[in-house]
Structure 1
């Protein structure tokens, strides 16, 4: 069993339970984002923590079968899409502006979040605002 440390105490979940909860939270976030909203930072952090606590025992192809329909990219790739440095991407994750998760020593972020942020930046630039 996996013990996930939460601010209010501990919650014990099996790795499959944790993965299912991460899939459900990811689906909720996608729905909320499509409606122009965003899940609270603590809920996004919970999903990241649960994913990390569940471990990486399944190959990525099996995880995709669980209903995860987004691509995870490295901070370097995200930086290229955003026109900034990988350090800035890590800062965005630390501040809750992007959702990230660790896969070993690599920080991964959801490509669709990065692309949405890049589109907002381009829109701001088109409208004459500073980026």
Structure 2
């Protein structure tokens, strides 16, 4: 949970808000021609920059906390299918139950929760 707290701060979402099912991603804008100005890019690490799906499709910000753009893009896109291609609650539970592990810092910049190189995705995930 600590790594998700750090990443939520980086994208400007209060960690406590993540428990609300109605919490909206700060990257999403209903005006597809205009980017969301809720989060200044100069404070966001590159691995947390929004993907096109994050900007154009409404979604819960939990997915925004993952430093893998390809996972965020696919999860948001597949969640919009009717019916969704997966269960959001199961995805979140799998992530929180060690499907994705962020390793603690060892030296220098290693172990930063917003750096995809600090994470390991388990084979079963």
Larger fraction in strand: 1
Could you tell me the TM-score, scaled by structure 1's length? Answer: 0.27
Could you tell me the TM-score, scaled by structure 2's length? Answer: 0.27
Larger fraction in helix: 1
Larger RCO, structures 1/2 (Cα 8 Å, 6+ apart): 2
